Structure 1
Amino acid sequence: MKVLKFGGTSVGSVKSILSLKSIVEREAKHQEIVVVVSALGGITDKLLATSRLAESGDERWKDQFKEMVDRHHQMIDTIITDTADREALFAKVDALFEQLQSLYRGVFLVHDLSHKTQDAIVSYGERLSSNIVATLIRGAKWFDSRDFIKTHDIHGRRSLDSDLTMRLVRSAFAEMPRISVMGGFIARDSATDEITNLGRGGSDYTASIIAAALNAEVLEIWTDVDGFMTADPHVISTAYTINELSYTEAMELCNFGAKVIYPPTIYPVCVRNIPIKVKNTFNPNGRGTIIKQKIDDDRKPIKGISSISGTTLITVTGLSMVGVVGVNRRIFTSLADNGISVFLVSQASSENSTSIGVRDADAKAAVAVLNEEFKAEIEDGRMFPMHAESGLATIAIVGENMKHAAGIAGKLFGTLGRSGISVIACAQGASETNISFVVDGKSLRKALNVLHDSFFLSEYKVLNLFVCGVGTVGGKLLDQIRSQYADLAQRSHLKLKVVGIASSHNAIFNRDGIDLSKYREELKNSEPSDPSKLRDSVIGMNIFNSVFVDCTASKDIAALYQVFLEHNISVVAANKIAASSDYESYLRLKRTAIARGVKFLFETNVGAGLPIIGTINDLRNSGDKILHIEAVLSGTLNFIFNEISADVPFSETVRRAKKEGYSEPDPRIDLSGVDVIRKLVILTREAGYRVEQADVEKHLFVPDEYFEGSVDDFWKKLPDLDADFERRRQEIARENKKWRFVATMDAGRTSVALKTVGPSHPFYNLEGSNNIVMLTTERYKEYPMLIQGYGAGASVTAAGVFANIMSIANI
């Protein structure tokens, strides 16, 4: 036989209760079935709320009572089609409502709501629902669970009278009907016969007691979820159903916030090795979760992550605690005597402090109880008053295989640290099935996501991107992310989720990801933004695995990098300003990234998509030393000097460079050498030398006066240079040479200059907008290393940014 328990949502609507009927009738074809039901969804809360209205003398209790009557009547009218059955059920239900109304009226008149009366009131939820279900399912027999579920008082607390209950259950079901229906939760006191209950969630417990007493084949808990999830799906979108759990794992997850089943449910069936199946009434064909003694072929060290928000950590501390026997006994006894539950304990090995985790609702009372317990010690200074820190959250990672996997705790705390999440207290039992720790409540969502991702509980690794700048490079990058999204998810199990996009004036954010097919329209209709708002929004989202991607040339945006890195947000920059700014700022960014365990990457600052910086870093990391760098670093200038000819004057080549998208919007940035100087400074720094932009020797080819005034003035004056350039071009052409604007670093000394190179020089045949870098190192001294390729253009630059992002994803 089987025991099937259906929760409030499973009997809360017409659709769900008809699904219940179908499930029970299908199962009853094969064996006897005991059905345990909760009150209709929300009714228990409404019964309690109505009683409090009545107690306060509020006439609105009558309206609330009528709403409950109407809801049950409507349910019966809809689902019970047989006239005789419907009339008989109405008679039972209305009789129960008359009794309930009398109780409410009494509470209203005397303005008193005793525990005894409240227990009687809440019992009507299950009494009503079980009668409805018993009538709906033809051939079912209704049982009053109060006749055999018994409780007794132990030290002022209501507990199951286990031995008596087991005997009475076996007696009541000595002759097993094909289908039995009963209400969960409710009971009677074995001594006084007063109505009591097993506590909120007690319907699960009732079903477990019945299953254990009757030695059922299986206990099935039917609810509104597909089973136990690897984490709370409301917080972690990638959470999925756990197919199998051990009793221990299920108990740990339940105790730490997984509200799938009531924790005491597990013990009665565990003792008799009866498996529990958790199934979804709204998805009856789903696999669900099975809970049993031993899981076959179980290799995952971590099964799930659970959490309790609203945690207060109370620290009991004092030098008198060291080596004194009985202090902890006094802590826990005094709290227990006052009905305060402790769910986490962390003690220093020095014994001078013990931290305990309680729910926020119990914090004030717990502090008062402990201050009173240790009043004498506090008064004479042997102990300090209790210190309580609220607004925290407790997280637990659970899995029996953790005891067989070395380094789980190290990975846990390392992952949290890299994400900027501080652990306030932690606890791990010797069984190694649960590692629990306390964090700031504001970090709960981030911590859950990063741990779920880190321990491979997610099918996909997720990288959350904030992209600033939607011009040529930023626009191309977003197009590339959109086109590669499905392939990366399938091939690499990686999801690049763009959660923020900012233009120069507007910004949009969406924690669930922005639709890249219509982001420009959303940006136009979004709220105005500026760098400070952008900073606050990115940091305020506090999202895990975050990467800020700067595709602008803005000094104000570059100034945000430091605070992002300090908040454990990686930075990928196409913007050259930060890496080429004053050396101390550059060094601080690099050091912050290393200290925080995040990345500051800017490969596209030099050579667009060419792997120049990465190569230099690899050489240095392998012990090589960069001695000399010679490079053509401006795709724009190389294009200009490759295009110039007798038919194409200098001014026209500049116009073509802008038209082709090689130059900056203001070409004077390229012609002034500023862009090349920045790139040379970056390369020199990455090569291990200290240099500032002011240290670079400049030998430019356009007079200074051309950089004064407006861009329009520049374009008007530019043709004046054509004749001189043509004369000089003819001279070098006769020598079979070409112009190249070359950046040079020699043992830390730097310069930029327009040079002529002959056919034997590696730079001679450099075509179009290509870049080339020649690295002379201690290992590559006789034959320098050459890196050559496209050095300009939105698509290749965007691809280089994309490559930096992927390198973070692959850490």
Structure 2
Amino acid sequence: MQVLKFGGTSVASAENIRKSLAIVARAAERAPVVMVVSALGGTTDALIGAGRAAAAGDAGYRDTLLQLAARHRTAVQELLPAAHTAVQELLPAAHTAAEGQLVAQFGEVTSLCNGIFALGELSTRTLDKLMSYGELLSSHLIASVAKVQSLDAIWADARQLIRTNSRFGTAEVDMATTEEKVAAFKAENLAKIWVVPGFIAADAHGTTTTLGRGGSDYTAALLAAALDAEVLEIWTDVSGMMTADPRLVRSARPIAHISYQEAMELSHFGAKVLYPPTIQPVMQRGIPLWIKNTFAPDDYGTLVEVEPPRTPAVVQGISSIGNLTLLNLEGSGMVGIPGFSKRLFEALARERINVILITQSSSEHSICVGVNAQDAAPAQLAVDEEFATEIAAGRIEPLRPETDLAIVALVGENMKNHPGISGKLFGALGQNGVNIRAIAQGASEKNISTVIRAADVRKAINVLHEAFFEATKKQVNLFILGPGNVGSKLLEQLARQQSHLLEKLGLQVRVVAIANSRHCLVDENGLDLTAWPEELAQAPAQTLEEFTQLIIARNLRNSIFVDVTANPAAASIYADLLAKSVAIVACNKVAASSDYAHYAKLKSLSKEFNASYLFETNVGAALPIIGTLNDLTRSGDVVRRMEAVLSGTLNFVFNNYDGSRPFAEVVRQAQAEGYTEPDPRLDLSGSDVARKILILAREAGQVMEMSEIEIDTFLPPACLEGDVEAFYTQMAAHEAHFRALYDAATAAGKRLKFVARYADGHAAVGLQTVALGHDLYDLRGKDNVVLFYTDRYVDQPLVVKGAGAGAEVTASGVFADIIRAARL
């Protein structure tokens, strides 16, 4: 025989019931079928809600029952219409019988709830009775439809087949008696199809019991074992067990073959497709268990068997349990004293509290157990009472519950004796700021369980799925602040390169949010990078603080905050983000050139929380200046001296100023072409160059503040007063001053360069004249150059040279930092 179980979604509507019966009819052509059915989707929850409302004195239970009755009556009308047709004369009689049965059963449900309402009490025994009507209603209806469809079907009462004890709510099965009853029923009934209500059973007195929520799977497994069936099929709304919960991981995929042990581990750790006790009965008999999709019956699904085909995959699946509380029993009085573990577990067992996870330190100073959150309070009370004497004497601490936790587990037969799995797990979680509170691994090595914050479950499962199942692809989530000149160029580059990044580097780069000073555009699935300007203009207003909280609250894996502004307020949020393991890519120089203590704190946070803090474009747009400097120092070299032209703006200005045009006009051209800061005075005053040499000195290992840098400005003081327009007016008024600087340099056969210098712990910036043959003499256009003199490069410096200004170039530098951060 075959046993086919259909869950609540598979029988939730008339259409779904027809699909399920079609599957059963095809199966019955091969061999007799036991069709185990759940209640119509949502019915059991509604019955529980009605019972609890009645016990609480809430008369609203009557409306719930009326709605349930109406839903079932609609199903009867659609499946068994009252009027007969030319091809089916059985319909009117079947409709009448089904209607009568529906009225009778809802009359019983209503009487039961009225009694609960009158007593103000809902016992577990009464609740089992109340819940049983869901499966009774659905199975009677489906059996009637099967007969009308001319299938050789009978209704079989699970209460007459499955014997349990009287532990209402989660009754334990008497398998020997159950097998006897099933064998007797089979001998007396030759129908090809049995329609059996799942979830329900009866004790020795004939009182209705239930097998626990999800117990219809268990019913099917018990019948399969009792009948020694050739196969057990669980028909549900997904195509088998998945590598992870598809509601959390979009890229989760079905597992075609899996062992009983792996399936048991995954179902225990929250794989909703299978009720955990289901596996044991069929595993003992070696009966294959096939999980199939009612709505895609041709999909292969998952076949659970004794020896599945070997697979190179080390991990079969990732699953989780939420609503977990950790209980930690600790104290020096436990060390070396036998019996503490026994007493702990006996205290929990007396309260019928299930222990989900256990871990103990090798010092025996503490024992940690995980329980369902709803069991935490009675567990704490029971344990504190058990150890009251030791707690009073100070030998043991009172039990400390830790709440809002969850377990994330890796499951796989091939993990056994396979080194590096735990390291990969911990590394992937650590790089994304997921803190592990406890760890458990059995000697069988089929499962590695980690306890983490419940808020981190989605991120953790996605990170692990990416690490173990998507080795060629890594999702990167960008939050971009400042879509101005540079930011808009960056977004253009990202749009052009998305397919290249995925194909060549395995990076799925998604821009999740774009924000400016007024609006914030967000889409967790990734924004359309061709339509963002119009959409951003219509997006809701959001403050910088709200934007920060949005990044933290989304808690996405491999998150990178990209600051393409010069806003001090934006730089002030870096620490908060780094502490949440959000990487920072900063075009903004403010943070790296702020007080040294703040700079050092950001570097420390970056290291502590495994979050990149990259700011290459702070110094030379896309030039690899900081990267080269870091390579030198990491390899043990010591930077003794640096000489540099670090302002593409100033180099452009002095390369284009020859006295034929006013100096102010050349500066306006530089600003128009995007080579200056929004306020050109930052460039021409030398303060921007001072920031850059400060950053380089710090990256070289020097503790230095901005106030220690000597700035020799070439601008007359009047040029620095007022607003930007006043600045241009004053430059025009002092044209003679600028012409004199140029003429003096030309007369000496030299050129004007604004140079930054660092040597022996001192730094200065200022206008210099450089002679022919100097490394800075032939620096053209908007180029930058840095000369590194180190212990290895003593006489001939290491030179980094290239374009050092421009929105396109700077954007490409930010882009490069994003890729570096993504690949770390």
TM-score over 0.5 for the pair: yes
Could you tell me which residue of structure 1 aligns to residue 279 of structure 2?
A: 266
Which amino acid is 1:642 matched to?
N
CA contact (8 A) 1:553 1:577 kept: yes
Give the structure 2 partner of residue 633 of structure 1.
Answer: 646
Distance 1:691 1:354, change over 3 A: closer
Task: Evaluate the alpha carbon distance shift between residue 737 and residue 406 of structure 1 in structure 2; reply closer, same or farther with a 3 A threshold.
Answer: same
Which has the higher mean CA deviation after the structures are superposed, 144-153 or 664-673? Answer: 144-153
2:46 equivalent to 1:46: yes
Structure 1 residues 57 and 405, CA, compared in 2 at 3 Å: closer, same or farther? same
Partner residue, 1:278:
291
| Structure 2 Cα separation of the partners of residues 114 and 748 of structure 1 | 80
Residue 472 of structure 1, CA deviation: 0.9
Q: Which residue of 2 aligns with 1:77?
A: 77
1:222-261 superposed matches below 5 A: 222-261=235-274
Superposed, 1:694-709 pairs within 5 Å as 694-709=707-722
- AA aligned to 1:674 is S
Runs of at least 5 residues in structure 2 that lack an aligned partner in the other structure: 82-87
Residue 592 of structure 1 aligns to a residue in which SS? helix
Offset of residue 730 of structure 1: 4.9
The alpha carbon displacement at 1:522 in A equals: 4.5
The amino acid that maps onto 2:329 is V
Contact 1:50 1:61 in 2 (8 A): yes
Kindly report which structure 2 residues correspond to 1:609-688, keeping only aligned pairs within 5 A, or say none: 609-688=622-701
Match of 2:84 in 1: none
Question: Would you say 1:412 and 2:425 are equivalent positions?
Answer: yes
Q: 1:579 to 1:637 in 2, by over 3 A?
A: same
1:345 alignment partner AA = I
Preserved contact between residue 100 and residue 124 of structure 1 (Cα < 8 Å): yes
Worse overlay, 376-385 or 262-271: 376-385
Does the 8 Å contact 2:353/2:379 carry over to 1?
A: yes
Given the alignment of the two structures, is residue 599 of structure 1 paired with residue 608 of structure 2, yes or no? no
Residue 775 of structure 2 corresponds to 762
Q: 5 Å matches for 1:294-313? A: 294-313=307-326
Q: 1:404 to 1:695 in 2, by over 3 A?
A: same
Match of 1:141 among 153, 161, 164: 153
1:323 is aligned, of 336, 343, 357, to: 336
- Distance of 2:660 and 2:232 partners within structure 1: 89
Match of 2:98 in 1: 89
More off after superposition, 522-531 vs 249-258: 522-531
CA distance in 2 between counterparts of 1:52 and 1:566 reads 45
Whole-angstrom distance in 2 between the partners of 1:96 and 1:771: 86
Partner of 1:7: 7
Residue 473 of structure 1 deviates from its aligned partner by 1.2
Supply the distance in 1 between the matched residues of 2:34 and 2:815 (Cα, whole angstroms).
Answer: 59
Instruction: Measure the CA separation in 2 of the matches of 1:14 and 1:544.
Output: 42
The gaps in structure 1 that reach 5 residues or longer are none
> Offset of 1:357 from its aligned partner?
1.2
User: Does the CA-based 8 Å contact 1:7-1:222 persist in structure 2?
Assistant: yes
Q: Report the identity percentage.
A: 45
| Structure 2: distance between partners of 1:27 and 1:326 | 55
Alpha carbons of 1:380 and 1:485: their partners in 2 closer, same or farther (altered >3 Å)?
A: same
Deviation readout 1:260-318 (Å, 9 max, x if unpaired) = 11100011111222222222222333332222233433233333222222222222234
**Distance in 1 separating the partners of 2:153 and 2:423:** 56
SS class of match (1:332): helix
Aligned to 2:197: 183
Partner of 1:551: 564
Deviation string 1:34-53 (CA, Å, 9 cap, x unpaired) is 21110111111222233334
Question: For residue 591 of structure 2, what is the amino acid of its counterpart?
Answer: A
Pairwise mapping of residues 107-256 of structure 1 onto structure 2 (< 5 A)?
107-108=116-117, 113-137=122-146, 138=149, 139-142=151-154, 143-153=156-166, 158-174=171-187, 177-189=191-203, 191-256=204-269
**CA-to-partner distance for each residue in 1:450-492, whole Å, 9 max, x for gaps?**
3333434587422222211121112222222233223323443
Distance across 2 between alignment mates of 1:493 and 1:208: 43
CA shift digits 1:688-727 (9 cap, x unpaired): 3333333333333222221112211111122234344445
Structure 1 CA distance, aligned partners of 2:705 and 2:743? 36
**CA–CA distance in structure 2, aligned partners of residues 283 and 295 of structure 1:** 23
Range 15-24 or range 508-517, more displaced: 508-517
2:788 to 770, 775, 786: 775
* Residue 687 to residue 119, structure 1, CA distance change in 2 (3 Å): closer
In 2, Cα distance between equivalents of 1:645 and 1:56: 91
Shift of 1:672: 0.8
What letter matches 1:771 in structure 2? N
Distance 1:92 1:585, change over 3 A: closer
The question of whether the paired residues in 1 share the 8 Å contact of 2:480 and 2:511 is answered with: yes
C-alpha displacement at 1:176, in angstroms? Answer: 5.6
Render the CA deviation track for 1:87-142: whole Å, top value 9, x for unaligned.
Answer: 34334433433444444444455555444443233222112211222233331412
Alignment match, 2:85: none
- Residue 800 of structure 2 aligns with an amino acid whose one-letter code is I
- Partners of 1:54 and 1:598 lie apart in 2 by 54
**Could you tell me whether the CA contact under 8 Å between 1:741 and 1:755 is conserved in 2?**
yes
Residue type at the aligned position of 1:38 = S
- The code of the aligned residue for 1:788 comes to K
Q: 1:276 & 1:615 partners in 2: Cα distance? A: 59
On the 8 A contact 1:334/1:369 being kept in 2, the answer is: yes
Q: Distance in 2 between matches of 1:475 and 1:692?
A: 33
Matches of 1:470 and 1:112 in 2, distance apart?
Answer: 62
Is 1:710 aligned to residue 723 of structure 2? yes
Task: Quote the residue 2:23 is aligned against.
Answer: 23
Comparing 374-383 and 180-189, the one that deviates more: 374-383
Is this contact kept in 2: 1:313–1:390, CA < 8 A? yes
Give deviations 1:237-272, integer Å, cap 9, x for gaps. 343333333222221122222221110001111122
Give the AA of the match of 1:689.
Q
> Could you tell me which residue of structure 2 aligns to residue 435 of structure 1?
448
Q: Is the partner of 1:579 in helix, strand or coil? A: coil
Q: Which moved more, 1:277-286 or 1:158-167?
A: 277-286
Letter in 1 for 2:199: F
Inter-CA distance 370–726: structure 2 relative to 1 (3 Å threshold): closer
CA contact (8 A) 1:277 1:290 kept: yes
Q: Deviations over 1:66-99 (max 9, x none)?
A: 2222211111211235424333433443343344
CA pair 158-648 structure 1, distance change in 2 beyond 3 A? same
Paired letter, 1:704: P
The amino acid across from 2:200 in the alignment is: I
Deviations 1:342-364 (A, max 9, x none): 11112222323222211121111
Letter paired with 2:327: I
Q: 1:678 to 1:103 in 2, by over 3 A?
A: closer
Looking at structure 1, the residues matched to 581 and 234 of structure 2 have their Cα atoms a distance apart, in angstroms, of 42
| Range 613-622 or range 780-789, more displaced | 780-789
Of 336, 344, 358, 2:371 maps to 358
What is the distance in 2 between the residues matched to 1:420 and 1:281? 40
Residue 67 of structure 1: aligned partner: 67
SS at match of 1:801: helix
Q: 1:105 to 1:654 in 2, by over 3 A?
A: closer
CA pair 628-162 structure 1, distance change in 2 beyond 3 A:
same
Which deviations, in whole Å up to 9, do the C-alpha atoms of 1:584-604 show, x marking residues without a partner?
322222222122222111000
Answer whether contact 1:32 1:176 (CA < 8 A) is retained: no
Within a 5 Å distance, the mapping from 1:425-464 to structure 2 comes to 425-456=438-469, 460-464=473-477
Is the deviation greater in 129-138 or in 354-363?
129-138
Q: Flag the 1:359–1:731 CA change in 2: closer, same or farther, 3 A.
A: same
Q: Give the stretch that moved more between structures: 385-394 or 170-179.
A: 170-179
Q: Report the equivalent of 2:35.
A: 35
- Mapped to 1, the partners of 2:514 and 2:410 lie a distance apart of 34
User: Please, what is the CA RMSD of the aligned residues?
Assistant: 2.7
Is the Cα contact below 8 Å between 2:687 and 2:711 reproduced in 1?
Answer: no
The answer (yes or no) to whether the contact 1:452–1:458 under 8 Å persists in 2 is no
Q: Does the 8 A contact of 1:238 with 1:458 survive in 2?
A: no
